[in-house]
Amino acid sequence: MYDFGLVGLGVMGQNFILNVADNGFSAYGYDLDDEKVEALKTLGGDLDKVSASSNIKTFVKNLKQPRKIMLLVPAGKIVDGVIESLLPHIDKGDIIIDGGNSFFTDTDRREADLQVKGINFFGAGVSGGAKGARRGPSIMPGGSKSAYEHIQPIFEAVSAKYNGEPCVAYLGPKSAGNYVKMVHNGIEYGLMQLTSEIYDVLKKGGDYDNDELHSTFAKWNSGRLQSFLVEITSEIFEQEDDLTKGRLVDQILDKAKQKGTGKWTSQNAMDLGIPVPSIDVAVSMRELSALKDERIKADALYDRPSVTHMDKEKLEELTEKALYFSFIITYSQGLHQLADASKEYGYDLDISVIAKIWRAGCIIRAGLLADITEAFKAEPSLPNLLLSPNFVDKVKETVGAARELVAFGAQNGIPLPGLSNSLTYFDAYTSSKLPLNLIQAQRDYFGSHTYERLDREGIFHTEWED
């Protein structure tokens, strides 16, 4: 009998199962595709702990009770289909874990439906891509606390480690795990957008070639900007293209695709009333990038200022600081959303634990997360990172560079929407007085929507003079 079951033997599933076996647990896979089943048997042969079947009865029969069955299948209807097909064969007390990027309300629905049937359901975000699944991902599980103890030893063994600490923890009830993974992806979108803007400004504003871009990002990766995304960015600039013998990055079409998790983060932030403009604009830029044909036409219609080059040393200093500043702002927004969602949906999230399990394994892992963990440990109910004394100096030291760079982008026609949204968010969040009193006046003027006053309590309406 096997310790762990996995449905979906695509690259992620195959890698995850081999990771489970490497860590001393036996694992059984299931996929409708016989080729994938055979491939896994061949790959896992030496491990003597792996087997697979394309027969669901055989799969379920081979698992120790309570059965722990993880699904690594595309989000959506397929998840419901797999659950339906498992139900006739499994027993009360068994555990189904959805490891995909399911929308959190789908997870709530599935969890409630399965609870009635005595089945435990977990939504567990898994981050780190195919390599992470093989060598150690960051795992974000949410569901029944008492059932978690059955999956905890396996998840702790297979997850990435940061200074020996596993990058997995029980996060909360219901869809807490999927929600946290959704916001992880929103932050991922934000950081990726910012990195692409810095690439653009270095290239256009400082004439950096791919070798210089490679070495600059590599240098940053050994400093305070150390992160998976900065690291892979540096490596991307080095990659040669077999077809043209130039650099591959220069041949890649500038239209970014998306599977929806960043958009969901933005949409839900709007529902909660929490501003996450650095994430919003990252989604908008992917949408704008997709309008390539229109962009080509518009480019021919309008002039763009010719770029005044900046001294390379100065540009490198500004970009390093601006990227660090805007990374902080993007994490602040995502974590602010999590703190609010925790109250709204009853997740009871511990933000320091989330930051802790993001320190390794996941796509947004970064040196910065160690500082973020400490900030939330010191003040668990911190609404926003910008209010943490641990971050005030970091922000003060870098915001000036962000200002200078955003101005440089505006003057030279280099679009820096992620950077400028991060800066504007900072300027607005740190303003004790905003001009929105005027909006209240306008609302009351045309719609009698009423307003409050600074100098006295109450709700007021004025008969405005025409």
Distance in angstroms (rounded) separating the CA atoms of residues 199 and 58: 52
C-beta of 301: minimal distance to ligand 6PG in Å?
A: 31
Is 185 a binder of ligand 6PG (CB under 6 A)?
A: yes
State which residue has the least CB distance to ligand 6PG: 127
Contacts of 377 (CB under 8 A, 6+ apart): 352
DSSP secondary structure letter of residue 239:
P
C-alpha closest to that of 350 among 179, 172, 174: 172
Whether residue 134 is annotated as binding a ligand: the answer is no
**Residues paired with residue 69 on neighbouring β-strands, in sequence order:** 5, 96
Piece of the chain touching ligand 6PG by CB under 6 A; list 36-44, 252-260, 341-349, 369-377:
252-260
Is 127 a binder of ligand 6PG (CB under 6 A)?
A: yes
C-beta of 382: minimal distance to ligand 6PG in Å?
A: 24
Side-chain-side CA neighbours of residue 370 (13 Å) = 10
DSSP string over 204-224: HHH---HHHHHHHHHHHHTTT
CA 146 vs. chain centroid, Å, equals: 27
Query: Is the CB of residue 122 less than 8 Å from the CB of residue 97?
Result: yes
Q: Sign of torsion, CA 94 97 103 104? A: positive
Token look-up 């400028």 returns: 420
C-beta of 128: minimal distance to ligand 6PG in Å?
A: 5
Upstream peptide bond of 166 is cis (omega within 30 degrees of 0): no
Is 369 a binder of ligand 6PG (CB under 6 A)?
A: no
Is 422 a binder of ligand 6PG (CB under 6 A)?
A: no
- Binding ligand 6PG by CB under 6 A: which of 14, 19, 51, 101? 101
Write down the catalytic residue from 181, 263, 321, 356: 181
Q: Is residue 84 among the annotated active site residues? A: no
Q: Build a one-symbol-per-residue string for 9-48: x at contacts with ligand 6PG by CB under 6 A, - elsewhere.
A: ----------------------------------------
C-beta of 18: minimal distance to ligand 6PG in Å?
A: 17
Tokens (6 digits) for 383? 């609404």
Closer Cβ to ligand 6PG, 40 or 167, answer by number: 167
Q: Is residue 181 among the annotated active site residues? A: yes
Is 131 a binder of ligand 6PG (CB under 6 A)?
A: no
Query: Is the CB of residue 152 less than 8 Å from the CB of residue 170?
Result: yes
C-beta of 196: minimal distance to ligand 6PG in Å?
A: 13
Closer Cβ to ligand 6PG, 98 or 320, answer by number: 98
H or E segment to which residue 325 belongs: helix 312-345
Write down the catalytic residue from 36, 68, 111, 188: 188
Is 129 a binder of ligand 6PG (CB under 6 A)?
A: yes
Whether residue 437 is annotated as binding a ligand: the answer is no
C-beta of 184: minimal distance to ligand 6PG in Å?
A: 6
Closer Cβ to ligand 6PG, 338 or 395, answer by number: 338
Query: Is the CB of residue 158 less than 8 Å from the CB of residue 97?
Result: no
Whether residue 365 is annotated as binding a ligand: the answer is no
Distance in angstroms (rounded) separating the CA atoms of residues 378 and 382: 9
- Binding ligand 6PG by CB under 6 A: which of 61, 92, 255, 259? 259
Residues in the chain: 466
**Site residues (vs ligand 6PG, CB under 6 A):** 101, 127-129, 185, 188, 257-259, 261-262, 362-363
